[in-house]
Chains A and B, each alone.
Chain A
Amino acid sequence: MSGNLYEVISAVGEMIIGNRQKLTDLDAAIGDGDHGINMARGFEAVKAKLQGMEMESDIGKVLKIVGMTLISSVGGAAGPLYGTAFLRAAAPSQGKTELDTQTIGLMLEAAIAGIKERGKATTGEKTMLDALVPAYEAFQDGANTGKTVTACLELAYEAAQQGVEFTKTIIATKGRASYLGERSRGHQDPGATSSYIMLKALVEYLRR
Chain B
Amino acid sequence: MVGVVIVSHSQKVAEGIREMALQMSAPEQKIIAAGGMADGGIGTDAFRVSEAIVSADTGDGVAIMVDLGSAVLSTETAFEFLDEELRSKVQIADAPILEGAISAVVEASLGSNLAAVVATAEGARTLNKC
Q: Which of A38, A83, A175, A176 contacts B43 (CB 8 A)?
A: A38
Contact call A72/B38, Cβ cutoff below 8 A? yes
In the complex, whether B55 has a CB less than 8 A from a CB of chain A is: no
In the complex, per-residue mask of B8-48: 1 if CB is within 8 Å of any chain A CB, else 0: 01000000000000000000000000000110011111111
Closest B residue to A41 by beta carbon equals B41
Contact (Cβ within 8 A) A118 B76: yes
Chain A residues touching B, majority SS: helix
CB distance from A19 to the nearest CB of B (A): 19
Do the beta carbons of B70 and A71 come within 8 Å of each other? Answer: no
Inter-chain contacts of B37 with A (CB < 8 A): 73, 75
Residues of B in contact (CB 8 Å), total 18
Contact assessment for B38 and A79 in the assembled complex, using a CB-CB cutoff below 8 Å: no
Q: How many A-B residue pairs have CB under 8 A?
A: 58
A119 at the interface (CB under 8 A from B): yes
Given contacts A72-B47, A74-B43, A75-B43, contact A81 B38 (CB under 8 A): no
Whether, in the assembled complex, A76 has its beta carbon less than 8 Å from a beta carbon of chain B, the answer is: yes
Known A-B contacts A72-B38, A75-B37; the reply to A81 vs B73 at CB < 8 A is yes
Tell me whether A80 is interfacial, beta carbon within 8 Å: yes
With A and B bound together, what is the CA distance between A107 and B44 in angstroms?
26
Name the residue of chain B whose CB is nearest to the CB of A77.
B70
**Residue from B9, B41, B74 within 8 A of A80 (CB atoms):** B74
Hey, which bits of chain A sit against chain B, CB under 8 A? 34, 38, 41, 71-81, 83-84, 118-119, 175-176
6 nearest A-B pairs in the assembled complex, by CB-CB distance? A75-B43, A77-B70, A80-B73, A80-B77, A72-B47, A71-B46
Given contacts A74-B43, A79-B74, 19 further A-B contacts (CB under 8 A): A38-B43, A71-B47, A71-B77, A72-B45, A73-B38, A75-B37, A75-B42, A75-B70, A76-B43, A76-B69, A77-B69, A78-B70, A79-B43, A80-B76, A80-B77, A81-B73, A83-B77, A118-B77, A119-B73
